[in-house]
Amino acid sequence: MTTTIVLQQAINGIVLGSLYVLVALGLTLIYGVLVQINFAHADFVTLGAFAAYFFMHLIGAGYFLSIGVALVLGAALGWLINASIFTPLRRKGNELLPLIATIGVSVMMQNLMLAWFGPIPYAFETPYSSQVIRFAGIFVSWQNVIIIAVSSLTIALLYAFMKFTFLGKALRAVSQDRETAGLMGINPNQLIMLTFVIASALAGMAGAMLAPVLVLTPFAGTSVIVKAFAIVIIGGFGNVEGTILAGLIVGLIESYTTQYLNPGLIDIVVFALLLLMLAIKPTGLISERREENV
């Protein structure tokens, strides 16, 4: 009986972790290249979820097509935010201003969604969300399996992109040293735009996949965003492998804390871990050394 519980919570933790990783991936990408935090990222996720919902339930399209729509919408939003906020503010060189601007955008988006969609939670059912796989006394819903599968696929694709394509290498170059990359004929601004678009597309897609799992209100994104930030830091800013590892760890912490302690303590444990990491190894679980020019 106890082994079943431990195993089940392990699976629950991995599922939760994948949920967080999906949201955090975009954040870590943006940070790696831009050294910026986008507070509106959570709201891209929420909007992606709603887009998928309405596309599916109003137009009657299939689930996977709806995910595609959310992805495109996220990409468009990312382009818009980068063009209107990050690019103009980058010239001013202040780290805080874009952060505040994205807070303003976040407030706007949440309240616009509130005005459009209302506060009552939407029940997003897909063909997969109620079907459950059972084996050896353990259960997992098909929706969660899809989440894990699609996020693994996405991560693999992203990884390959970063390591093996020219664009990917250029992205890494820009994140390590923007000026030198510029000297080598890479246009940093275009690459930053590309990163933003990819990251926001990921956010939209994450929203669509998570919509059946989340309590779908305009405030859905905010329920995960702060933990997503914590994961990005614990894993190491800008580091994809680190984010994945950290996400899974946080997911497991959550399920085991729920089992043996109290769900109310989850945030304390996760953020205590965050502070511990920052105290001991600020660059994250898997880090690249960054030199700072004097």
Partner 1 sequence: MVTRCRALFVGVAVIGYLAASQAAHAQDKTIKIGALFPISGPGSYFGAQDKQGVELALEQLNKTGVNGYKFAVQYEDSSCAPLPATQAAKRLIEQFRPDVIIGEECSDATLAVMPVIEQAKVPLLNAGSSSIKVTEPGNPWTFRIMPNEVMQGVNLAENAYKRLNARTAVLLFENTNAGIGNAQVFKDTFTKLGGQVLAEIGFGRDVNDFTAIATRVAGLSKIDVIPTYTLEGQGLKITQALAQSGVTKGGGGGTIQIGTIWLPFGFEQKAGKAALGYIRIVQFDPTETRDVVKDFTAAFKAKYNADPTHLNAHAYEQIMLIADVVKRGGKDPQSIRDGLAATKNYSGVTGSVEFDRTNQNTKMDTVHYMETKPDMSWTSLKWN
Partner 2 sequence: MSDPALAQPLPHRQSPPLSRRVGYLLAALAIIILPLIFNDTYWRTNLTICAINVLLALGLDFILGYTGQLNLGHSAFYGLGAYVSTLLIVKFGIPFWGAFVAGVAFAGMAGMVLSLFAVRLRGHYLAIASLGFAVIIYQILLNWISLTQGPLGIYGISPPPALIIGGRVIADFHNLTAFFYLVAAFTFLVYLLLNQLVRSPIGETLTAIREDEISAASLGINAAVWKVFAFGVGAAVAGAAGCFYASFVGTLVPDAFFVAEAFNILAMVIVGGMGTLIGPVFGAILLTLLPEMLRGIGDLRLVVYGAALTLVVLFMPGGLVQAARFVHEKFRRGGPQP
By CB under 8 A, name the one of 21, 33, 52, 105 that touches partner 2: 105
**φ, ψ of residue 268 in degrees (nearest 5):** -65, -45
Q: Does 120 bind partner 2 (CB under 8 A)?
A: no
259 binds, among partner 2, partner 1, none (CB under 5 to 8 A by kind): partner 1
271 binds partner 2 (CB under 8 A): yes
Measured distance CA(201)–CA(43) in Å, rounded:
12
Cβ 72 vs Cβ 207: under 8 Å: no
Q: Minimum distance from CB of 191 to partner 1 (Å)? A: 34
Q: Does 118 bind partner 2 (CB under 8 A)?
A: no
x/- contact string, 118-157, with partner 1 (CB under 8 A)?
xxxx-x------x-x------x-x----------------
CB 250 within 8 A of CB 21: no
For residue 132, the surrounding DSSP H or E stretch is strand 132-135
Beta bridge partners of 133: 140
**In this complex, which beta carbon is closest to partner 1, that of residue 88 or of residue 118?**
118
Neighbours of 264 (CB within 10 A): 9
217 binds, among partner 1, partner 2, none (CB under 5 to 8 A by kind): partner 1
Of the pair 86, 229, the CB lying nearest partner 1 is at 229
User: What, of partner 1, partner 2, none, does residue 278 touch, CB below 5 to 8 Å by kind?
Assistant: partner 2
**14 to 101, 113, 228, 254: CA distances (angstroms):** 34, 30, 15, 10
60 Ramachandran zone, left/alpha/beta (phi>0; psi -120 to 50):
left
Distance CA 249, CA 232 (A): 12
Residue 43 binds to partner 1 (criterion: CB under 8 A): no
Q: Under the rule (CB under 8 A), what is the footprint of partner 1?
A: 1-2, 4-5, 8-9, 12-13, 15-16, 19, 111, 114, 118-121, 123, 130, 132, 139, 141, 213-217, 219-220, 222-224, 254-255, 258-259, 262-264, 266-267
